[in-house]
Amino acid sequence: MEQRNRRLGRHIPDPVRAKNRKAIVDCLRRRGAAARIELSEQIGISPATVTIITSELLEDGVIREKQAETGRDESARGRPRTRLELNPEAGFAVGIKISMHQASVSLTDLSGDILGAETIPVRANRDAPEWIADICMKQVQKIVSVSGIDPDLVLGLGIGVPGYVEYPSGLVRWAPVFSERDVPFREIVEERTGFRTFIDNDANMTALAEKWFGVGRTFPTFLVVTVEHGVGMGLVINERLYRGSRGFGAEFGHTKIVVGGALCRCGQRGCIEAYASDYAIAREANILGPSVATDDPIALEARMRDLIAQADSGDPAVVSVFERAGSMLGTGIANLVDILDPPVVVLSGARAHSAKAFYGALRQAMEANTLPGTDTSVDLRIDLGGDQVWARGAAALVLEETLI
Amino acid sequence: MEQRNRRLGRHIPDPVRAKNRKAIVDCLRRRGAAARIELSEQIGISPATVTIITSELLEDGVIREKQAETGRDESARGRPRTRLELNPEAGFAVGIKISMHQASVSLTDLSGDILGAETIPVRANRDAPEWIADICMKQVQKIVSVSGIDPDLVLGLGIGVPGYVEYPSGLVRWAPVFSERDVPFREIVEERTGFRTFIDNDANMTALAEKWFGVGRTFPTFLVVTVEHGVGMGLVINERLYRGSRGFGAEFGHTKIVVGGALCRCGQRGCIEAYASDYAIAREANILGPSVATDDPIALEARMRDLIAQADSGDPAVVSVFERAGSMLGTGIANLVDILDPPVVVLSGARAHSAKAFYGALRQAMEANTLPGTDTSVDLRIDLGGDQVWARGAAALVLEETLI
């Protein structure tokens, strides 16, 4: 299929103008809507520059005018105040999240609102990457077609994968969802679709979702910890996703919390993931029976649902399994809080909805293990977005790359 | 004493000009010397702006002209190329490092070169903060007087303390060198000297030393791990010291590496410091005898020197003590590398010069515990600066705060 290489609007700005353009889009993202004079004050660029750049963005359809609902602005001497906002229909993004037991495909507008979504069961580590790409693409075509939008307004595909993804090359160096190493998944998908494609670590995508549509509207720096089949992390510092020098940062699940401890699926010992992830919880609970294969993603997902129900109904042995997992994750998060001192931590991923015993132990371990000698505790938030988080993350990833 | 509140030069720039001024000073710090046109290209500001701001800096004496040594610059059509550099004698900084067993006081010029230094034995945790301040101040007066410099050119005092320091207030929330919590050490020192004083975590000061005079000239992002009586960390991201949201980041020594493990002097268990610091090494070696009080800083320092000599001469039991400590620290550094993916890590502090067995185990643990599935290893450098590191850190701290 022919490669489309879309970018919103016909203005290709020089570096200084691109920087100002990005600053204005970022400011509107954070504030929802703002008048030109507010943009000038907030960003620290002249009103004349704001006028030029917002004219371009209006012409490109990236932003639109929003009439004041409350009448007139006093500072503007009786003129109605015109506020600007991002235009949600200026473009659309397709998001794909590949988990161990399913692939989720969704279509999102620029506000992060979901226009359509499908979930397909896969056994990711047993299916070939090409096969996974093929079944995802069928769903993409279906969703775009059903939604009735112009396919030319799809700015790109954002794909989230757990594991080590080289960004921006899209080479998946190691991921539990693929049985092979070094899978050029970006190429595989672009060949099949012609859509501009961006592949990132799934936790990074969650962090971008929070940056665009969540806590990032209030906090320029924050971190996201994801927990489900694996344990991941995304870090935003001063409004920028932190990728590290090789594109692998910020990795959390394989940091060591018990030297020489439990075996992790990465082959090393004592990783946080080896205690707090789904497979680690199931491994321990297998002793209580009935035992499931922890490398069978669909059986594992069903088992997790049963175990959470048993813990929440008070089964003492199962409660102790979740308490241990929560305590280990809480201690790991306390390490991150020590190292990064973020104002807020967001817990996300499927197991942000886990057993009550899991949270209790998590919070207790966080408080018991953060900086001795300090009396302030970190703001831990549970992300309630569910699968929408991934769709929004994909939209945010595409926006980051195509909106200026 | 009357409070001096010095700032180099008489130009008090507006925010935009201050930003450009800082960018030019930073660029000269990194490159050593540069022509105006290079500054314009590197920083991305107009040649006209560079001319205005460098004129101010020249007038203020912060920078000076350096004639080309190699004749003429081809691009300048025969005109001799005038390069600019920081003027090392534009100002001076006093640095004080308070360790458990000694306080080091030094006088540094703007290049980080040391004009004079004194070391005074203290038993920090047994002496009152006011007493420590008094004996340090006597040394400051002596060194400034002996050096023959104009005391009015001393821009300020930079003080490094292990522990949790609130920056910029200078309140030492918790530090092993003080027996009390919440010591307003900045106030205590300023009252006694009249010098503008900056107090920071000692590892942060080391990171600033590296930023101004070390790896920071090449790498905009890097981290420093300090190891001696405690284990600390300093993090520079995109040329800025990362302090976190409450001013406590980046804390490393009390992150947990063995849940429920060895008791740390902070009162928690399993901290890296509880395995890799001087007191942790001595605690283990006490079993071999002769036993020393691990809270007696001077006895501990002497014991560490003996133990390092014994390990380096091959005593198997002492070797195993250092191997274990090195392995724990290496695993902790591997965690940092996973989380932050820095291009380079600098090992600093007194125990950057430890037993050979310590390094061997440290490097092995780092390699064995970083990202599985990746084949690149991080660049670990041993800082050889010794006590100069702290003096330079103090100079860098004062420069950061007074040079624009």
A146 forms beta bridges with none
The average confidence (pLDDT) of chain B is 86
- The reply to whether B242 touches chain A by the CB within 8 Å rule is yes
Top-level class of domain A218-385: alpha beta
* Rounded-to-5 percentages of helix, strand, coil across chain B: 45, 20, 35
Query: Pick the residue with more confidence: B321 or A60?
Result: B321
B364 CB neighbour count, 10 Å cutoff: 15
Percentage of chain A beyond pLDDT 90 is 44
- The reply to whether B377 touches chain A by the CB within 8 Å rule is no
Q: Which residues in B lie closer than 8 A to residue A163 (C-beta atoms)? A: 373
With tokens 């990194």, the residue in question is B30
Res B286: pLDDT: 96
Using CA atoms, how far residue A230 sits from A99, A144, A249, A280, A384, in Å, is: 10, 30, 16, 9, 18
Res B5: pLDDT: 44
pLDDT at B246 over 80: no
Q: Which residues in A lie closer than 8 A to residue B280 (C-beta atoms)? A: none
B226 forms beta bridges with B232, B348
* CA triple A176-A277-A261, angle to 5 deg: 95
Res A5: pLDDT: 44
Buried b (16+ CB within 10 A) or exposed e, B8-18: bbebeeeeebe
Q: Which residues in B lie closer than 8 A to residue A44 (C-beta atoms)? A: 15-16
Res B2: pLDDT: 42
- The reply to whether A164 touches chain B by the CB within 8 Å rule is yes
- The reply to whether B328 touches chain A by the CB within 8 Å rule is yes
Please give the structure tokens belonging to residue B104: 């080091």
* CA–CA distance, A284 with B356 (Å, rounded to integer): 40
Cβ-proximal residues to A314 (8 Å cutoff; 6+ apart), any chain: none
Instruction: Return the residue of B nearest to A219 by Cα.
Output: B245
pLDDT at A386 over 80: no
ipTM above 0.90, yes or no: no
Q: Which residues in B lie closer than 8 A to residue A255 (C-beta atoms)? A: 334-335, 338-339
Plot region of A356 (φ>0 → left; ψ -120 to 50 → alpha; else → beta): alpha
C-alpha closest to that of A192 among A140, A118, A117, A116:
A140
* CA–CA distance, B115 with B146 (Å, rounded to integer): 10
How distant is the alpha carbon of residue B296 from its chain centre?
25
- Choose, out of B215, B251, B327, B377, the residue to mutate when testing the contact with A (most A CBs < 10 Å): B251
- The reply to whether A220 touches chain B by the CB within 8 Å rule is no
Q: Which residues in B lie closer than 8 A to residue A221 (C-beta atoms)? A: 245
* CB-CB contact of A275 with A324 (8 Å): yes
What beta strand segments (E) does A228-325 contain? 231-237, 240-241
Count, residues in chain A: 404
Interface size, chain A vs chain B, as Cβ–Cβ contacts under 8 Å: 147
How far A153 CA sits from the closest chain B CA (Å)?
Answer: 35
Res B99: pLDDT: 84
The yes-or-no answer to whether A90-209+389-402 and A218-385 have a common fold is yes
- Choose, out of A166, A215, A245, the residue to mutate when testing the contact with B (most B CBs < 10 Å): A245
- First-to-last alpha carbon distance for chain A, in angstroms, is 26
Long-range contacts for B189-193 (Cβ within 8 Å, ≥24 apart)?
Answer: B189/B133, B189/B136, B189/B137, B189/B157, B189/B159, B190/B3, B191/B1, B192/B1, B192/B133, B192/B134, B192/B137, B193/B1, B193/B137, B193/B140, B193/B157
The average confidence (pLDDT) of chain A is 86
DSSP H or E run through B68:
none
- For CA atoms B298, B303, B304, B305, the dihedral sign is positive
| pLDDT tens column, B181-201 | 899 999 999 988 888 999 998
**What CATH architecture does domain A90-209+389-402 belong to?**
2-Layer Sandwich (3.30)
Contact call for B341 and A267, based on CB within 8 A: no
- The reply to whether B374 touches chain A by the CB within 8 Å rule is yes
* 3-state secondary structure at position A342: coil
Q: Is this prediction's pTM over 0.90?
A: no
Domain ranges of chain A: 15-88, 90-209+389-402, 218-385
Instruction: Kindly tell me the burial class for residue B100, based on how many C-beta atoms sit within 10 Å of its own C-beta (0-12, 13-18, 19 or more).
Output: buried
Q: Mark which residues 61-100 of A lie under 8 Å from B by CB.
A: none
How distant is the alpha carbon of residue B72 from its chain centre?
39
Please give the structure tokens belonging to residue A106: 């969704």
CATH of domain A15-88: 1.10.10.10
Instruction: Return the residue of B nearest to A248 by Cα.
Output: B341
* 3-state secondary structure at position B198: strand
* CA–CA distance, B250 with B241 (Å, rounded to integer): 9
Instruction: Return the residue of B nearest to A268 by Cα.
Output: B369
pLDDT at B298 over 70: yes
Please give the structure tokens belonging to residue B123: 């038993």
- Candidate from B181, B248, B338 with C-beta closest to A371: B248
- The reply to whether B43 touches chain A by the CB within 8 Å rule is no
- The reply to whether B335 touches chain A by the CB within 8 Å rule is yes
- The reply to whether A282 touches chain B by the CB within 8 Å rule is no
* CA–CA distance, B128 with B106 (Å, rounded to integer): 22
* CA–CA distance, B287 with B269 (Å, rounded to integer): 20
Rounded average pLDDT over B165-172: 86
A66 forms beta bridges with A83
How far B54 CA sits from the closest chain A CA (Å)?
Answer: 22
Please give the structure tokens belonging to residue A97: 């999240």
| pLDDT tens column, A20-66 | 888 898 888 888 899 999 998 888 788 888 999 999 999 988 899 98
| Least confident interval from A15-19, A214-218, B232-236 | A15-19
pLDDT at A2 over 60: no
* 3-state secondary structure at position A202: helix
| pLDDT tens column, A251-295 | 899 999 999 999 998 889 999 999 999 999 999 999 998 999 988
pLDDT at A174 over 90: no
Instruction: Kindly tell me the burial class for residue A19, based on how many C-beta atoms sit within 10 Å of its own C-beta (0-12, 13-18, 19 or more).
Output: middle
Contact call for B244 and A163, based on CB within 8 A: no
pLDDT at B367 over 80: yes
**Maximum distance among all alpha carbons in chain B?**
74
* 3-state secondary structure at position B127: coil
- Choose, out of A255, A266, A336, A367, the residue to mutate when testing the contact with B (most B CBs < 10 Å): A255
Rounded average pLDDT over B52-78: 74
Instruction: Kindly tell me the burial class for residue A373, based on how many C-beta atoms sit within 10 Å of its own C-beta (0-12, 13-18, 19 or more).
Output: middle
How far A19 CA sits from the closest chain B CA (Å)?
Answer: 12
* CA–CA distance, A262 with B249 (Å, rounded to integer): 29
* CB-CB contact of A200 with A167 (8 Å): yes
- For CA atoms B254, B275, B199, B297, the dihedral sign is positive
- The reply to whether B267 touches chain A by the CB within 8 Å rule is yes
- Choose, out of B45, B182, B224, B245, the residue to mutate when testing the contact with A (most A CBs < 10 Å): B245
- The reply to whether A394 touches chain B by the CB within 8 Å rule is no
Q: Which amino acid is at A93?
A: A
pLDDT at B46 over 70: yes
Query: Which band of pLDDT confidence, cut at 50, 70 and 90, is reported for residue B390?
Result: confident
Res B386: pLDDT: 67
Top-level class of domain B218-383: alpha beta
How far A123 CA sits from the closest chain B CA (Å)?
Answer: 21
What beta strand segments (E) does A23-153 contain? 33-35, 63-67, 82-86, 92-98, 102-109, 114-121
Cβ-proximal residues to A159 (8 Å cutoff; 6+ apart), any chain: A95, A96, A97, A98, A185, A186, A189, A197, A198, A199, A200, A394
pLDDT at B6 over 50: no
